[in-house]
Structure 1
């Protein structure tokens, strides 16, 4: 059985460090998948878990579950109200500004199967992301018309929770996340596969900061990036 890293557990909550490539729950889009974070966590701790937020399949990091429906309701209210601070690490193409705010509304991305009956003409929703550059590098590999390849390691904080928000926002400012096969740059994705054996999206949910729904104490949940993410960052930024 797959053993997940448990980051936190009490009588109300459990948080895991979700690996890249693991679905949170069953999906019509990935009907061939047989492994899901909900079932694996439930089997590992021996009790039912209730999802309160989501991470994309290729994103790793902090994934929080409630252990009863009342706690799930209270946590969902915090997420909906924007009271949960989410922080991510990402490797993106190019050298970004030192910091910035992306304020760019996003139309809801609809799946042909699971959203077949959804409103196709829904207006774009407010979407805001804060970012801070942690490090940069320039590699001696020609990509497209450029003689070298530049990358930035960023800390990202989404202030809203739109589907694929970080991936779409980074594409919008022309700094797509490396390894993003939907919103990214195929040439740079290929470079990372060939030079670094990197097969994943370089996006990791590093922390969640929230208020415990029952004790009302501040709770900081942190997940160290997995080896497949950390190894690439160390190769990119060996001296930083």
Structure 2
């Protein structure tokens, strides 16, 4: 029996950093950052949960997709939020992710592939639909590889997977998921851009019912003190099951 990540239980969030200006949490997979009418069924949101937990208002300065877990940063006042948001917008924040993907990824490299903006049929009904693709760049490094004695696709008698470290240099919508799919190494658990057969294999063999993408690193100069802040999370244990 497994717990559906979309049904996040009411519990305390894991705070991994806090000072008088900023607070960072380890966001669970399946938890929305804030309320959205596009997910009207959701009842819990990181922003409101953290506000209630620490007893003061918090201000989001960036976002993580609902199925992505990991480091999520908030400011504790509007001025810090504005300054931190500007750092994200000007690419002064260094971000790191880990993911499990299909196939053997080369040792390291860079994906430089422009992406057209993904528009929602309802929310972006008035948006311009013929905008040119925007620059999108992701550095990647392969950390581990495994070949498993299971035939998941009809073309191969075994199945191969890689654990990769990802460093996006731009911040396009679903950039990492779309970039990995573009190089034919989709992220396991990605129901929009991934491979359904391998997603099903991980559900049945490794009890993995989520997107295997986690924000594991965030580095920036503090907007008030100027000191370097280096936040890190370990790779989730679930990501390592196939490699053990």
Verify same fold: TM over 0.5: yes
Residue 94 of structure 2: aligned partner: 85
**Equivalent residues of 1:140, 1:148 under 8 A apart:** yes
Instruction: Report the alpha carbon displacement of residue 223 of structure 1 after superposing the two structures with TM.
Output: 2.1
Gaps in structure 1 of 5+ consecutive residues: none
**Equivalent residues of 1:90, 1:177 under 8 A apart:** yes
Runs of 4+ off more than 4 Å:
none
Which one of 78, 91, 107 corresponds to residue 98 of structure 1? 107
Instruction: Report the alpha carbon displacement of residue 119 of structure 1 after superposing the two structures with TM.
Output: 1.2
Matches within 5 A, 1:205-220: 205-220=215-230
**Paired residue total:** 234
Which one of 226, 230, 236 corresponds to residue 242 of structure 2? 236
Q: Work out whether 1:183 is the aligned partner of 2:189.
A: no
Distance 1:103 1:51, change over 3 A: same
**Equivalent residues of 1:138, 1:149 under 8 A apart:** yes
Gaps in structure 2 of 5+ consecutive residues: 1-9
**Equivalent residues of 1:28, 1:114 under 8 A apart:** no
Q: Deviations over 1:69-101 (max 9, x none)?
A: 100110011111111000000000000110010
Q: Deviations over 1:105-139 (max 9, x none)?
A: 00111112221221111111000000000000001
Instruction: Report the alpha carbon displacement of residue 232 of structure 1 after superposing the two structures with TM.
Output: 4.1
Residue 127 of structure 1: aligned partner: 136
Aligned Cα root-mean-square deviation (Å): 0.9
Residue 125 of structure 2: aligned partner: 116
Q: Work out whether 1:62 is the aligned partner of 2:74.
A: no
TM-score normalised to structure 1 length: 0.95
Residue 153 of structure 1: aligned partner: 163
TM-score normalised to structure 2 length: 0.94
Q: What is the CA–CA distance in structure 2 between the aligned matches of 1:104 and 1:126, rounded to whole Å?
A: 7
Residue 163 of structure 1: aligned partner: 173
Q: Deviations over 1:47-81 (max 9, x none)?
A: 11111111010100000001111001100111111
Residue 223 of structure 1: aligned partner: 233
Q: Work out whether 1:20 is the aligned partner of 2:29.
A: yes
Residue 71 of structure 1: aligned partner: 80
Residue 45 of structure 2: aligned partner: 36
Which one of 103, 107, 118 corresponds to residue 116 of structure 2? 107
